[in-house]
Amino acid sequence: MSASNVVPLHRLEWGGPRFWRGVWRIVDPKITLASAGAMFLGICAAAHDGPLYPRWMLLTVLGIFVLEAAKNASGELFDWDSGADARVSREDRSPFSGGKRVLVDALMTRSQAATVALLLYALGGACGLVVALHQPGVLWLGLAGAALAYFYHAPPLKLSYRGLGELAVLLAYGPMIACGTYLVQRGEIRPAIVHVGIAYGIAVAAFLFINEFPDANADGACGKRTWVVRLGKKNASRVFAVLPLVAFGYLAALPLIAGVTPAIWLGLLGLPLALRAAWRLRLSYATTADIVPAQAWTLLAFVGMALGSGLGLLL
C-alpha cells in the first residue's frame, strides 16, 4: 500500500504545498509541549544550582525536538504499514490522536516520509554527538532516548503495539529528558530531578493513555494492543481516573519522601484540570467528540505541572 496510489505523484512533489503541510504535521508543535516541559524542569533545576550555558542548552533543545519529530515521521511509516492510521474513522479523528496522517491524507509519499525520518534522525544524532563531546555522560541517555523513539513503533520491539507505549513515554518524557537536560548543564544528576521527572512522566503517560481512546477501534482491528484495547473503553476510563492521583500524589509526596523543596507543590497547579479530564472521560468515554476536551485538559494538566514544578525547583 502506498500513498502514491491515492493521489497522482505530481501532487506530491518535494517542496510542494502538500509536502510542507506534511512536514508541519510531523513537527506538530502542540505535542512538543511534552518534551518542552521535561526540558524546562531540567533547566530550572540547573539554573538553581549554577550558571547556565546557553549554547549547550539550545543544542540540547534542538536535538530533542528534532528527535521527537523523527519519531513522528518513522511512526507514520509503521502505522501506515500496519493499517492503524488508515482504519481510524472520520468521526474518531482528533487533534491529539490518530497519528499525523501525512500518508493517509496523501501529503507525502511513503518514500518521502522515510527520507524525512532519516534526515531528522541524522540531525538529532548530530546534535547529540556534539553535546556528548561537551558532556560525555549524556551519550547513553541520548542513545536510549533515540532507541525508545524509533522502536516505539518499529519492529521488532513495536512498544506501542505491545502495551509498552505508556512505560516508554513515562521514561523518555520524564526522567530521561529532565535528567539529560540537567546533566548537560551540571555534569551530574541529582536524585530530586529523577523523582520530579517520574511524576511528570506519569502525567505525560496519562496524556498518551487518553489519546488511545479515539483510536481503540482501529488499533484493535490491526493488532495494536494498547491498554485501552486490552481493557475496553469502560474499564480503561476507570484506570485513567487513577493516573492523575498517582502523578500529582507522587509529586506532592516528594518533600516528605525525597527531600525535594516544598516549593515543588506549585506543580499541583495542573491537578484540577487533570481531575476534570478524568471526570469527563468517565462520563463520555465512548464518543470521540466528547473526549477531545478531556484530551486538551490532560495536556494542559501536565503543562501546569511542568511550569509549577520548574518554578519550584528554580526557587
* pLDDT at residue 23 tops 70: yes
Q: Which of 21, 10, 13 lies closest to 104 in space, CA to CA?
A: 21
Number of H helices and E strands in the chain, helices first, is 13, 0
CB 77 within 8 A of CB 102: no
Res 239 pLDDT > 90: yes
**pLDDT above 70 for 2:** no
**Alpha carbon separation from 75 to 27, 143, 284, 304, 311 (Å, rounded):** 12, 18, 28, 28, 34
What ranges do the domains of the chain cover?
12-314
DSSP, collapsed to helix, strand or coil, labels residue 32 as coil
C-alpha grid cell for residue 297? 485538559
Question: Which has the closest alpha carbon to 218: 123, 98, 101, 103?
Answer: 98
Residues 83-137: pLDDT tens digits? 998 999 989 999 999 889 999 999 999 999 999 999 999 999 999 999 999 999 9
With 0-12 / 13-18 / 19 or more C-beta atoms within 10 angstroms meaning exposed / middle / buried, residue 14 is: exposed
Q: Please give the model's pTM, rounded to 2 decimal places.
A: 0.94
pLDDT in tens, 147-204: 999 999 999 999 999 999 999 999 999 999 999 999 999 999 999 999 999 999 999 9
- The interaxial angle of helices 271-283 and 233-257, nearest 10 deg, is 160
pLDDT recorded at residue 11: 52
* Single-letter code of the amino acid located at 301: A
pLDDT at position 276 over 60? yes
Residue 31: band (very low, low, confident or very high) from pLDDT cuts 50, 70, 90: confident
* pLDDT per position as a tens digit, 292-310: 999 999 999 999 999 999 9
Q: From CA 99, how far away is CA 79, in angstroms rounded?
A: 8
Quote the percentage of the chain above a pLDDT of 90. 91
Q: What does DSSP assign to residue 97?
A: B
